[in-house]
Chain A
C-alpha cells in the first residue's frame, strides 16, 4: 500500500485532502477580502494594490496554479466523498425524529450547513467561474452594462482628478502602458443590481459552507476535542460572519453610494 494510495484512495485520506485544501482556500478567501476592502480607501489604494499584485509576475502564476490545484482537489474529493455517501445510505427513515426534548433533536438531526456542503460548494464554484469571467477575463457580454472593462485604464488625463495619488509601477519594457482601473470597473460592475445580488447570495453560501467547514476541518485533521470544540465552533461562526460582512460591504457600498 503506497503513500499515494493511502491518501487518494481512502476515505480518511480524502478527508485530509478536503481539510487541507479547504484551509488553503480559506486563507485565500481572507486575503482576497482584505484586498477588496482597500476600495474604501479610494481609487488610488485599490488600483495600486491591483498593480502591485500584477507586478508579481511569475509569482502570481505560482499562486494562481496553487489555487487552481487546491480547487481541483477540493472539488474532486467532495464529489467522490458525496457520491459514496449517497450510495452508502439509499433508504431514508419514515419515522420523523421526535425525541424526548428539543435539545436532543438538534443533536440527532444534522445541521443544515453540514447537510448542504456539496450544494453550497457547487454553487460557489459556479459563482467563482462567473466572477472570473466578470472581473478577470472581463467578458463584456456578461457584465450587464454597456461597457468593456478591458478598456478601463488609468488615464494620464485622469491623474488630475480621481487618480491623484496613483502611480502604476509597470514592469520592464511595459513602461508607458497604463494600469487597469479596478476601481472604476468594480464601481461599474456592482452598479448592476443583479450582479450584486448574485454576489451577495454566493458569498452568503460561502459563509454557510464555512460555518460548518471551518469547524469540520479541525476534526478531519484530528485536532478537535471536547475541550476545544466550543472555541473551534466559535471561530468558525465568527470568521464566517466577518467574511460575509467584509465581502458584501463592497457591492452594497457601491449600490448605496458609499463608494464615491
Chain B
C-alpha cells in the first residue's frame, strides 16, 4: 500500500541555545515515503544536513510509539500536528501531500523555555509532579488484584486521567499556555483512587500552587488543549480539578 514518494519543503525553527534569538530555516525534504513517521522524515532530512556538513535539527524523541511524551513539536500551528489523538512520532507522512510546505516550531510557553531548535525544557512539569503528584502509602509489591476494591466507574475515570503522558501539548496549544489539563489529569487520577485519599487536599493545593509559580497561564475554557491532546484527556477533568480545589480550600480552612 505504499504510495508515491513526496517532495516537501520544511520551515524549521533553529535556535543554537537558550540565549540565541533563533530563526526559521528552510529545508527541502525530497523523496519522502508516505509510510514514514514524521520523526523518521526528520531523521532523513537530518542525514542530508549532516552530509552537507551542517548541524542536524535537534528534536526530542524516545519511545516513538506515542507513550513517553517527549516528541514535542508544533506542526503547521498545531501541537503534534493535526491528526486527532496522535503524537508527532505516530503521525504519518501520508497525511501530507506532495509539494506541501510544513512549518515546524517548538512548544511556545514561558514555562517551557527553548533549549535548542525544537527541544524545550519541561522540568516545570516535573516540579508540579514533585509538589503532589504521588501517593505515600506503601502499596507493597504486586498487591492482590482485588485487595482494594475500586468502583468500576472510578477506576475507568482514573484510567482515562492516567493516560496523560505529560507531553505538554495542552500548554503548547493553549493561547494562555495554561497547564490546567495536565494538572487536572494528575490531580483527578489520584483523587479517584482509594490510595490517593490521604493526601487528597494537600495534593490539589500543592500542585495548583506549583503550577502558578512556574508561570503557566490560566484556563479560559477555549478547549484547544482537549482538541490537541494525543491521549484525548477530557476538559471534564479540569472541572473535576476545580471541584477538588474548592473542596480542598474548604476542608483545609483557615489554618
Contacts and interface: CB of A to CB of B under 8 A. Distances in A.
B109 interface: yes
A88 interface: yes
Given A85-B175, A97-B78, A216-B220, A6 B105 contact: no
Given A10-B212, A95-B103, A100-B95, A88 B217 contact: yes
A95 B102 CA distance: 8
A93 B105 CA distance: 7
B160 to A, nearest CB: 11
Contact of B221 (A13, A96, A220): A220
B18 to A, nearest CB: 14
Contacts of A99: 76, 78, 82-83
Contact of A108 (B177, B219, B224): B224
Contacts of B253: 3
**For the complex, would chain A's binding face be called helix, strand, loop or mixed by DSSP majority?**
helix
Contacts of A220: 219, 221, 242
Contact of B77 (A12, A98, A215, A219): A98
B76 A89 contact: no
A3 B226 CA distance: 31
A32 interface: no
Contacts of B37: none
Interface in A86-139: 87-100, 104, 107-111, 114-115, 117
A76 B223 CA distance: 24
Contacts of B236: 224-226
Interface string B48-90: 0000000000000000000000000011111000111000000
A94 B24 contact: yes
Interface in B14-72: 24
Contact of B242 (A16, A91, A108, A117): A16
B77 A100 contact: no
A75 B15 CA distance: 39
B235 interface: yes
B241 interface: yes
Contacts of A222: 239-244, 246
Residue among B234, B238, B242 with the most chain A CB within 10 A? B242
Contacts of B220: 81, 85, 110, 114, 117, 216
Interface string A14-27: 11100000000000
Interface string B152-180: 00000000000000000000011111101
B208 interface: yes
Contact of A12 (B74, B76, B83, B245): B245
Interface string A185-225: 00000000000000000000000000010011011111111
B77 A96 contact: yes
B76 A85 contact: no
A216 B215 contact: no
Contacts of B110: 87-90
A123 to B, nearest CB: 18
Contact of A95 (B84, B105, B175, B242): B105
A89 B238 contact: no
B222 interface: yes
A10 B217 contact: no
B222 A98 contact: no
Contacts of A94: 11, 24, 77, 103, 105
B138 to A, nearest CB: 27
A7 interface: yes
Nearest to A226: B236
A11 interface: yes
A1 B239 contact: no
Smallest CB-CB A-B distances: 8 pairs: A99-B82, A95-B103, A88-B217, A222-B243, A110-B222, A85-B176, A95-B77, A89-B177
Given A89-B217, A94-B103, 7 more contacts: A3-B253, A88-B217, A94-B77, A95-B75, A222-B240, A224-B236, A226-B234
